[in-house]
Structure 1
Amino acid sequence: MRIAVTGASGFVGGALATALADDGHQVTGFGRRPHGWQHPRGNYVIWDLDSAAPDEAHHIDAVVHCAALADDWAPRDAAMRSNLGGTRRVLETFAGCRFVHMSTSSVYDAFRPSVMARENEPAPHRHLSSYPESKAAAERLLAGTDAVILRPHAVYGPGDTTLLPRLLQSVRHGRLVLPAGAQVRHSLTHIDNLTQAVRCALDPDGPSGVFNIADAEPVYLAEVITEFLARADLPARIIAIPFSAAWQAARFAELRAALRHTRPRLTRYAVSQLGVERTFDIAAARRQLGYRPFTTTLSGAEAW
């Protein structure tokens, strides 16, 4: 297939573009960075989704739309322009193509735990940041189309620059302070499992709709973090603070940052993602897409 991958200069988009090119597909990766994805059998094209589509965006069979502004402190207009407007531009550019949209589990209600949440849960009335709000708006744009919408949670693996590495950066004096001590269940998503889901979703005869994507079974977040710290040879212990205390500290940090026009060191969005259960039912992906994920693993994490 001739496949376009947007956001190919990022972790998820780049990993997916590489895997699809390795599969033998003709892949064109699009990104905003001058020096983005590279593959001996692939093609990388600079494209800011605010601008007109380049010539390379034509003659495509399928698109995997990964480009997004994944910043929980982004101004609302910037997030909407990138995540809603960008999706609209990609949808118009690749009209008639198999459309796989990379959404996020963040579209679920962040004000309460997600306990084996299913895709048909009512949409929340409010969001904690512009990121989930804009991603939910992009999903509404695609409603009623033939798009396949994937909702992974906490994607990790080789090349990850966000999830686990940020936790490493938060270690201070051998201590990692986390809400509830991260003693909560989470559905993590290895990048190879997400790649398998995308392969399934690209089937032109496959179903459309919304699908949660995650590893085979939920895990306790604290156990995964502890193993990752050990593999990174970083001696540290997790210090638990009550969720309510972390929430109030984040609220204060956000208010102070807003007054000073800076970034807060802690946000309520981050607290909500770390301090309560975030598990997601993947039965629909298994049943309809033929998704067969493996369990959470940090094998090889020493080289990440």
Structure 2
Amino acid sequence: MKIVITGANGFVGAALCRYFYEQGHTILAVGRQAKSHPNLAAVAEYLPADITQSLPPFRADVCIHAAALASDTATYQDLHQHNVIGTRQVLAAARHCEYFVQISSSSVYQFGQVPAKETSATLAANLSPYGKTKLLADNLVAENIRAGQKRIVLRPRAIYGIGDRVLLPRLLGMVKRNIVVHPVPAQISTSLTHVDNIAYAINLFLRQTSQPALQIYNVADAPVYNLRQSILQLLAAVYQQELKVCSIPVSLLKLLADLNKIVPFSAKLNPLVLNTLTQNAVLDISAIRENLGYQPQNDFKSVYPQIAAWLRGVGGLNYYLNNLAQMPWEIGEKFAVKAS
């Protein structure tokens, strides 16, 4: 198959390019940068394009839309432009594709004490600006499906893996002089999604023998994780030592977040970050298991040592943090795809 992948310079898009190249498919990678990274050029044709503008029709079998603006500090207008208008433009360009895959987000849910089901996503909930624009984009994917086209929306939670430049820097930012300063209560449970589990889910979708026009699924690792324990395991592996822990009371953090609304002093101290660290965020993945036969093999316990090894392999923490933009393709020789 020929597969178009938007957001090819980002973490998820890059991982999908590598995965489907290894599966033997022809890849057309779409990204905003004028030139592609050499490692991308080795596995894909590259199309520089701004998805918020009109795009040429994609002549391909599959379109995987992984491009998005995920930011705690971006304005709603910018988020809407990239995530809603951008999705509309990509849908128009993909009108001749037999399959369309939307990489959405668990931010479309207002989490509670029970795992979130696909049907619980609603614009009436108290969503972050990012979550609202991702749900609006999902709604676009559900509309005006041409005859014969099959579409799927996948909603991952806290995507991690080799090449990550979003989640990992936030976790590294918790470490100050070998002390982990964090507000995560001991009992918080969360779903996590290894990036290759997303690719695996897409593969299952493409291999379905009978498909409805639209499918919407949560996608995550099989285990539910203790968030605090997972963070400490990864950071200890990265720094190659046990780190001291300084816990911040959630009540104090909420007070600081409220003060930050009145007199802003930190862009990182916002409701989205606060909710991520202090609330259960578990996805119900029973639907994707039942309908796609989803049985993910990648999990955090087996992968976090690889992430630590990758960081050392690409030049260490300082190099990583100073070169985040290229990290999705700076995967190191050990993890690199070999071009044919």
TM-score, structure 2 normalization: 0.81
Which aligned pairs between 1:104-253 and structure 2 lie closer than 5 A?
A: 104-109=105-110, 112-113=111-112, 115-144=114-143, 145=145, 146-181=150-185, 183-203=187-207, 205-207=210-212, 208-233=214-239, 235-253=242-260
Q: Is the 8 A contact 1:73 1:129 kept in 2?
A: no
- With 86-95 and 198-207 compared, the bigger mean Cα shift is at 198-207
Residue 80 of structure 2: aligned partner? 80
Q: Say if 2:60 is the partner of 1:60.
A: yes
- Cα distance, 1:169 vs structure 2: 2.0
CA distance, structure 2, for counterparts of residue 284 and residue 126 of structure 1: 22
- With 201-210 and 170-179 compared, the bigger mean Cα shift is at 201-210
Q: Is the 8 A contact 1:254 1:264 kept in 2?
A: no
- With 161-170 and 274-283 compared, the bigger mean Cα shift is at 161-170
CA distance, structure 2, for counterparts of residue 69 and residue 182 of structure 1: 31
Letter in 2 for 1:280: L
1:247 to 1:8, Cα distance in 2 relative to 1, 3 A? same
Q: Is the 8 A contact 2:53 2:86 kept in 1?
A: no
- SS of structure 1 residue aligned to 2:71: coil
Residue 10 of structure 2: aligned partner? 10
CA distance, structure 2, for counterparts of residue 124 and residue 182 of structure 1: 31
- With 225-234 and 98-107 compared, the bigger mean Cα shift is at 225-234
Number of residue equivalences: 296
| Structure 2: gaps spanning 5 or more residues | 311-340
| Structure 1: gaps spanning 5 or more residues | none
- Cα distance, 1:122 vs structure 2: 4.9
Ranges of 4+ aligned residues in structure 1 off by more than 6 Å = none
CA distance, structure 2, for counterparts of residue 173 and residue 48 of structure 1: 41
- Cα distance, 1:235 vs structure 2: 4.6
- With 140-149 and 14-23 compared, the bigger mean Cα shift is at 140-149
Residue 267 of structure 1: aligned partner? 270
Q: Say if 2:44 is the partner of 1:42.
A: yes
Residue 283 of structure 1: aligned partner? 286
- Cα distance, 1:150 vs structure 2: 0.2
Residue 292 of structure 1: aligned partner? 295
- SS of structure 2 residue aligned to 1:278: coil
1:154 to 1:122, Cα distance in 2 relative to 1, 3 A? closer
- Cα distance, 1:114 vs structure 2: 5.4
1:122 to 1:17, Cα distance in 2 relative to 1, 3 A? closer
- With 18-27 and 181-190 compared, the bigger mean Cα shift is at 181-190
Q: Deviations over 1:103-151 (max 9, x none)?
A: 0000001xx5353211111515244532111101111112244420000
CA distance, structure 1, for counterparts of residue 27 and residue 58 of structure 2: 12
1:131 to 1:219, Cα distance in 2 relative to 1, 3 A? same
- Cα distance, 1:34 vs structure 2: 2.7
- SS of structure 2 residue aligned to 1:52: coil
- SS of structure 2 residue aligned to 1:63: strand
After superposition, the CA RMSD in angstroms is 2.1
Residue 337 of structure 2: aligned partner? none
- Cα distance, 1:274 vs structure 2: 1.2
1:122 to 1:79, Cα distance in 2 relative to 1, 3 A? closer
Residue 100 of structure 2: aligned partner? 99
- Cα distance, 1:39 vs structure 2: 4.5
How many percent of aligned residue pairs carry the same amino acid? 34
- With 282-291 and 3-12 compared, the bigger mean Cα shift is at 282-291
CA distance, structure 1, for counterparts of residue 216 and residue 127 of structure 2: 22
